[in-house]
Amino acid sequence: MMRRLLVFGCASGIAAAAETDIASQRLVGAALLDGAAYATVASLTDQVGSRLAGTPGAERAVVWALSAMKQAGLTHVHTEPVRVERWVRGEAEAALVAPFAHPLHVVALGGSVATPREGLEGELVEASSFEELKALGPRVAGRIVLLNRPMMRNGESFGGYGDVAPLRRFGAVEAARLGARAVLIRSLGTGAYRLPHTGAMQYQEGVAKIPFAALAAEDAELLHRALAQGVAQVRLRLTCHLDGEVDSANVIGEVKGRERPDEIVLLGAHLDSWDLGTGAIDDGAGCGMVIAAARLIAQLGAPRRTVRVALFMNEERGLSGARAYAADHRAELVRHVAALEADSGAGRPLGFAVVGGAASVALLSRWAAPLSGLRASAVQTTEEAGADLIPLHEAGVPAFMLRQDLSSYFDWHHTAADTLDKIDPFELHLATAAIAVVARAAAESVDLLPRISAGHQQQ
Ligand SMILES: [Zn+2]
């Protein structure tokens, strides 16, 4: 849909621009001084802890979110039901047994089945891609597969992660098709602290379900060198298992719009986390930022449109919260005029990325212009602006994200070291300011981002 360009009279245009500048300065100043985003993520990580969907921690997080939103001055604070599949991590242990004995640092991937109770032992075969795995052909049957592809560090985009993520998602399926007994994958991460990184994986109907664990980068290198000398034998024992479905919830709160309360600017983050650390950078930071940004906007007085905060349950294990939101709000998605998800850690803001074309970039650039002094006003296009927004932009909702410094994000992502101390409060508050400025601009704007059509092409 093409939006009509409204032509301001010169005086009112200048007045509106001046109001925007003053409001932006107040938002940035307050974000840096009040410390609310950091206090919020500190409260989540230190009072609730880890919150894997389906666990008691996740349910405590729902109660926490209701309270945090009310304290921030949001209104219409409530939960909305989500069903989640419960997965129990259990124990994980692995070791190289030949050519020499050496413990391996492993974690089960989310959703993996267990090994036999006593564990399993087998000869290792290695591949760095599915093409290499398929080329091994019959050599895979009866063996344990090592998927070993280093992840490139990239401080400005998720490109390095995107390159290796399919190996984790589909590794068990591709290895099982060739008759493998289990899979070990080099952790998707950029740190070298002998930390295994967990994450989501999936099985496929009709293909054998085999155990799947991630191992520390150093251990993948060790196995690679052991194989280069000849045969390597590995033991693996996992006790993880699925344990039915349980009820959980998304948590929603609002800053009600003064003129067009039915039109919504959505600020999302995910409330669940992995269970190894306390989910500070993924995604406690996002929860803290969107709650704090909404609070800052509310403090300036009601915006023209409603700013809605949505903390989604179960991003990490299948997006059931995001899908429930899109289904339950289907009738009003046409009035969701913009959606942002904060799920890129706690690093300083670098600018924005929008799902759309030149018109989307131009409008978002205007909204972000007051952030030029923070070097956070550059806007680029993207195919995806956050996993929880996928069901929304499939329904046409214009989606965008804050780009943040990711230099160290994947050192800690999905590990036991995703803890509060990894967050620099100043960087977090700069990012919060950037979200608040652009969200308020979206809520006040005369012009709207173009809707997204199927295939992300603009109409
Ligand atoms: Zn996340």
Q: Where are the alpha helices (DSSP H) in 336-394?
A: 358-368, 390-394
Ranges under pLDDT 70 in the chain: 1-14, 454-459
pTM score, whole prediction: 0.94
Task: Look at residue 17 in the predicted model and tell me its pLDDT.
Answer: 72
pLDDT score for 264: 98
Catalytic choice (174, 254, 315, 341): 315
Q: 332 C-alpha to center of ligand 1: Å?
A: 25
**Half-sphere exposure at residue 64, Cβ-oriented, CA atoms within 13 angstroms:** 25
Same fold, 10-85+244-456 and 90-239: no
Q: How far is the CA of 248 from the centre of ligand 1 (A)?
A: 18
Ligand 1 centroid to residue 166 C-alpha, Å: 16
CB 324 within 8 A of CB 247: no
CA 364 to ligand 1 center in whole angstroms:
24
CATH number of 10-85+244-456: 3.40.630.10
Give the pair of three-digit tokens for residue 272.
Answer: 């669940």
- Give the pLDDT score at 15: 73
Ligand 1 centroid to Cα of residue 341, in Å, is 10
Would you kindly state where each structural domain of the chain is located, as residue ranges? 10-85+244-456, 90-239
Report the chain's terminal Cα–Cα distance, integer Å: 6
What CATH topology corresponds to 90-239? Glucose Oxidase; domain 1 (3.50.30)
Following DSSP, what letter does each residue of 81-101 receive, concatenated? EEEEEEEE---EEEEEEESS-
Compute, in angstroms, the gap from residue 200 CA to the centroid of ligand 1: 11
Token pair, residue 385, equals: 């602006």
267: β partners: 309, 340
Asked if residue 186 lies in contact with residue 150, where contact means CB atoms within 8 angstroms, the answer is: yes
Q: Ligand 1 centre and the CA of 260: distance in Å? A: 31
Task: Say whether 332 is catalytic.
Answer: no
